[in-house]
A and B are shown apart, each in its own frame.
Chain A
């Protein structure tokens, strides 16, 4: 079994040592990815001065959703831009009761006709949505993904028929919804995988995942191979999200920083952090143009970052426990944050003061 695939002149030992040579160079290569090395300025600061400053934003909570009786763990927007699905210990919107305590991941299907969710049950299940009061939604549930540890994230691809999952068992996987068949699995993380995001690319072939091994890895969906990896965070990566152009992605970590990684430069190009921000970032998302990065933190706040300047634009209070999930709506008109304080808040920009002389905020 282990000798399958060997050509002439190849032995398992020779392959192993060749791989080890590559492996020995990896730490040096990874260090080159760091945004700052030997005191060099982060790339983003090179362009920061040329960017016009944003005005001062006033974001107001416009909806507070209190239906959950427990911690909100995850949420997702429907493509119709107005509905959301959220999960905690009970999967909401259609009040499906799941036989497990933590539902850590949920996703809306592109058609808006189904949702997927899972968590400590190690599975990802798909529920077709129905408004027929007589129908028991749980009866129509389809168990799609099976992992050997908790499900941390899930996402439909471009259709209702495929689901991508991330798990505490260290792998990601692509599944066929109808049959539950495993289409592809993605191995490479050295610890729990906590998050994933599909690339908004023309060819629609890649996705990025982040894990407890402090790595963010980019995968080819077709071959199952890791095509790029980044390792500059100092702690678990809780959230990854692509920049709208697809050329970069942001990550939020327990090390209290968010970072921007560029795929073509193959390195970290910005770090969004402040001394006063001590708690981990649990969830990040970009505004439509990619100019703003919203990040929810475990100290109950949301910080809004100017992606190009590298500085913080705003800090938002309101939640009474950690912010566990945050997503901008599909048309970019608002963003929703979910929290362990049992609520979801939808916030929009009320107005923006024009740029004027004001004290530099750190």
Chain B
């Protein structure tokens, strides 16, 4: 009588760490001193020895892992679903009931052990050599459960001989569990299902030719890895502390959101107030523009205001150039030559309408690279301009009257009053899909916002 779930084909047990862990838990549950209290359970008129109650299982798990009873019940239910513990009453469904319902442990490796034990008991000393080896090895392996193995072997022999009611019931429950685990009924989850196999098709794995290039890249990787300056963990953790601290109030799942979380209240107000292009951004949103330059650029409203600010300083071409470079980097491959030409004409050519001020070395290298345009050809120039804006224009923007004015004007929404009648049901409307809109609302790389110097 095989015990527990049969290993699914095509997947080594070694690759399923959860099975080994479950087995360890079940083994410690059966420890004579520290395990779950075993007792004889009365089932109608029959008495079944070496059984445990559902509630004892739950209590033991809750105590051992310091978890709530709900979680202990869930964990116990998982063990039952996998067949490690089987119910002695109503074995049609593999559930763990946290009450006096009796359960028994399957002996995981028991199949072979029970068979050999039975043989040994029946005809003492007649196990042939390899069987004896197997028997001894198994004995060592499941030493703690050996008593249970012997007991189960004796039970099965007795059942075969005398058909004792208690034994027959136990065996019936075992078999039922086995089938429920390995052939679950249509609606029940199949705990053995693993999904598409992994690592099974080595033939389709792409192999690298070990060329000079390959080794050079390996050497480069190791050199970098060994020579890398590592920042101390404590400094990195400080960074997380300040990042989480700064963003906490802006995180709806941590701090909630005003006026209300649309998923909870079924009220769209939050989304309306925080739409991508909204005339009056909220205070939290304007604050975020001060967290980092990236945050400012990623917000279409923020970016638009920044463009206005740059316009006043006559450096709007910097942002436009950066946007054009983004368009190149993330654009279609076929567009690359056209886009590169366009950028050159507008921003880099001598006397260009919106000439950007890049240092001479980068400019030289960029112009050189333009002879063989590719999507990354403007990377150096783009980075230079980005850093220029980040280190120079951005801090000035944050200190400007314009930004301070925006902060002062921005409002904090009032929290939606709790509805007096909670069962007032708001109909849920489907939002219009972006696919229906004529032009994209979100600023993609291709859609820089207008404003600034007004030159297309």
Chain A interfacial positions (CB closer than 8 Å to B): 1-6, 10, 12, 15-16, 18-19, 21-23, 25-26, 29, 43-44, 46-47, 50-51, 54, 60, 62-63, 78-83, 102, 104, 110-114, 119-120, 128-131, 148-150, 157-162, 168-171, 176-179, 181, 183, 187, 191-192, 194, 200-204, 212, 222, 225-229, 234-236, 243-245, 247-248, 254-256, 262, 264-267, 269, 274-276, 278-280, 287-292, 298-301, 307-308, 315, 317, 320-321, 328, 331-335, 340-341, 346, 348-352, 361-362
Please give me the residue from chain A that is nearest to B242 by CB atom: A245
Q: A159 and B247: CB pair below 8 A?
A: no
Chain A nearest Cβ from B273, distance in angstroms = 11
User: B228 an interface residue at 8 Å Cβ cutoff?
Assistant: yes
Please give me the residue from chain A that is nearest to B19 by CB atom: A278
| Residue numbers in A under 8 Å from B386 (CB-CB) | 202-203
Of listed A19, A235, A267, residue having the most chain B CB within 10 A:
A19
A200-B294, A279-B18 known; 7 new pairs, CB 8 Å cut-off, are: A1-B211, A22-B226, A29-B225, A191-B205, A229-B225, A262-B233, A299-B78
Please give me the residue from chain A that is nearest to B249 by CB atom: A289
Among candidates A226, A328, A346, residue contacting B221 with C-beta atoms closer than 8 Å: A226
Q: A104 and B196: CB pair below 8 A?
A: yes
User: B27 an interface residue at 8 Å Cβ cutoff?
Assistant: no
Among candidates B74, B206, B215, B331, residue contacting A12 with C-beta atoms closer than 8 Å: B215
Q: B247 and A320: CB pair below 8 A?
A: no
Chain A nearest Cβ from B292, distance in angstroms = 8
Chain B nearest Cβ from A141, distance in angstroms = 15
Q: B253 and A333: CB pair below 8 A?
A: yes
Q: A265 and B236: CB pair below 8 A?
A: yes
| Residue numbers in A under 8 Å from B330 (CB-CB) | 157-159, 161-162
| Residue numbers in B under 8 Å from A280 (CB-CB) | 17-18
Given contacts A320-B189, A340-B189, A361-B66, contact A161 B331 (CB under 8 A): yes
Given contacts A170-B206, A212-B198, A243-B240, contact A159 B446 (CB under 8 A): yes
Q: B332 and A179: CB pair below 8 A?
A: yes
Give CA–CA (A98, B259) in the complex, Å. 42
Q: B251 and A362: CB pair below 8 A?
A: no
Q: A161 and B221: CB pair below 8 A?
A: no
Q: A222 and B379: CB pair below 8 A?
A: yes
Given contacts A78-B434, A129-B435, A192-B198, contact A178 B216 (CB under 8 A): no
| Residue numbers in B under 8 Å from A179 (CB-CB) | 332-334
Stretch at the interface among B106-114, B128-136, B346-354, B436-444: B436-444
Given contacts A333-B270, A350-B264, contact A264 B231 (CB under 8 A): yes
Give CA–CA (A149, B213) in the complex, Å. 25
The range of chain B's interface size is 35 or more
Among candidates A12, A44, A104, A278, residue contacting B237 with C-beta atoms closer than 8 Å: A44
User: B252 an interface residue at 8 Å Cβ cutoff?
Assistant: yes
Given contacts A307-B244, A333-B253, A362-B66, contact A113 B435 (CB under 8 A): yes
| Residue numbers in B under 8 Å from A243 (CB-CB) | 240
Contact digits for B54-95, partner A, Cβ 8 Å, 1 yes 0 no: 000000010011110011101100100000000000000000
Q: B244 and A15: CB pair below 8 A?
A: no
Given contacts A315-B71, A333-B263, contact A80 B431 (CB under 8 A): yes
Chain B nearest Cβ from A257, distance in angstroms = 10
Q: B225 and A228: CB pair below 8 A?
A: yes
Q: A348 and B263: CB pair below 8 A?
A: yes
